[in-house]
Amino acid sequence: MGFFEKIKAGLTKTRDALSGTLGGVFSGFSQIDDDFYDELEENLILADLGVETSVKATEKLRAVIKEQRLKTPEEAKAALKEILVEMLSVGSPALDLSTKPAVVLVIGVNGVGKTTTIGKIATRLVKEGKRVMLIAGDTFRAAAADQLEIWAGRAGADIVRQHEGADPASVVFDGIQAAKARNVDVILIDTAGRLHNKTNLMNELNKISRITERELPGSAREVLLVLDGTTGQNGLIQAKQFKEVAGVTAVALTKLDGTAKGGIVIAVSDSLQIPVKFVDVGEQADDLMPFDAKDFVDALL
Ligand SMILES: Nc1nc2c(ncn2[C@@H]2O[C@H](COP(=O)(O)OP(=O)(O)OP(=O)(O)O)[C@@H](O)[C@H]2O)c(=O)[nH]1
Ligand SMILES: [Mg+2]
């Protein structure tokens, strides 16, 4: 299955998925009037775009319809697709892995899918012929490093881990030195899940982030925030806080095969101006897919 089919299959598992309700707005009206705009805006909000982004998208559509003198809801649909694709295009869609080594620090709240996402990205990169190292920066539970080690084994990646309770910053430091010595292409750093409002844990993350900058000056560096697609607008609040502390450069949205409505992808891109680079629609390694804005919007509408 390609990106389009998978996203569509994932999203339509939810009865309320964007595809159904949003698409219905266009087939349910024969002309473009105020009721149409009201219904559209309401459905965008229901689809998890958030109030701010929904209002903005509707206003843009109004302007385009007026300017291009569009008449039918079908024409409006095509115009809205273009608007949403543009709102999703806020940066490079791929991870910047242009240096050797390149580093990707993976962060987010508990249970969103950080470790799984790392395993899936590693699998993909090793298949492409890259040498990959995983660093087990989640030292909270021994099981966390064990879980990462299983993924490393499956993917064919190296791993650096320490004992439970070790200082995550020192694990990251050691891992980076080892990666340099072993001529690794890509370093993926796992971190413990943390609530965005817990100051000490966020300070620890800031420290890890600074170590990657200090130890890898001039290296391509991504800070990948993993968001659970089913948490809706709360994901936006998390993203804002993580952005402040660790300078998020990319987002991976997971669990779009669950009850997620998908629109959160657009809300995140637009209100934070951070590109969504991966979406995840299941637990298998190939369920993580590089993000394609056009296919995504087609699947939504
Ligand atoms: N259905 C589904 N499940 C997923 C997806 N991504 C991750 N999961 C599952 O979500 C659960 C948590 O994933 P982890 O990768 O352990 O999450 P984490 O963010 O590392 O969690 P902590 O380290 O405890 O903060 C696991 O059971 C995963 O298999 C997805 O896209 N779809
Ligand atoms: Mg984890």
Ligand 1 center to 28 CA (angstroms)? 38
Token output for 282:
């299941």
| pLDDT, tens only, 7-51 | 666 665 544 444 456 778 888 888 899 999 999 999 999 888 999
Question: What pLDDT, on a 0 to 100 scale, did the predictor assign at position 300?
Answer: 81
Tokens 């219904």 belong to which residue? 39
| pLDDT, tens only, 124-152 | 999 999 999 999 999 998 899 999 999 99
Instruction: Say which range, 20-24, 85-89, 155-159, has the weakest mean pLDDT.
Output: 20-24
Residue 19: how many CB atoms within 10 A of its CB? 20
Q: For a ligand 1 pocket test, name from 7, 14, 116, 238 the mutation site with the most ligand atoms within 8 angstroms of its C-beta.
A: 116
Q: Which atom of ligand 1 is nearest to the CA of 111?
A: 21
Token output for 254:
């997971």
- Res 225 pLDDT > 80: yes
- Res 54 pLDDT > 90: yes
Pocket flag, ligand 1, residue 137 (CB < 6 Å): no
Question: What pLDDT, on a 0 to 100 scale, did the predictor assign at position 10?
Answer: 65
Question: What pLDDT, on a 0 to 100 scale, did the predictor assign at position 15?
Answer: 40
Dihedral sign of CA atoms 12, 13, 15, 17 in order: negative
More confident residue, 83 or 14: 83
Q: For a ligand 1 pocket test, name from 251, 264, 283 the mutation site with the most ligand atoms within 8 angstroms of its C-beta.
A: 283
| pLDDT, tens only, 162-219 | 999 999 999 999 999 999 999 999 999 999 998 878 888 889 999 999 999 999 999 9
Q: pTM for the complete prediction?
A: 0.92
Give the pLDDT band of residue 86 (cuts 50, 70, 90).
very high
Q: Which atom of ligand 1 is nearest to the CA of 116?
A: 15
Q: Is it true that the peptide bond before 275 is cis, omega within 30 degrees of 0?
A: no
Ligand 2 center to 93 CA (angstroms)? 24
Question: What pLDDT, on a 0 to 100 scale, did the predictor assign at position 17?
Answer: 46
**Average pLDDT of the chain to the nearest whole number:** 90
Question: What pLDDT, on a 0 to 100 scale, did the predictor assign at position 1?
Answer: 66
Give the pLDDT band of residue 296 (cuts 50, 70, 90).
confident
* Superfamily for domain range 102-248: P-loop containing nucleotide triphosphate hydrolases (3.40.50.300)
| CB distance 107 to 248 below 8 Å | yes
Question: What pLDDT, on a 0 to 100 scale, did the predictor assign at position 197?
Answer: 81
Ligand 1 center to 177 CA (angstroms)? 28
Mean pLDDT of 227-239: 88
Ligand 1 center to 288 CA (angstroms)? 12
Question: What pLDDT, on a 0 to 100 scale, did the predictor assign at position 12?
Answer: 57
Tokens 């394609």 belong to which residue? 292
Burial readout 256-277 (b: 16 or more C-beta within 10 A, e: otherwise): bbeebbbbbbbbbbbbbebbbb
If you ran DSSP here, which 8-state letter would residue 252 be given?
A: E
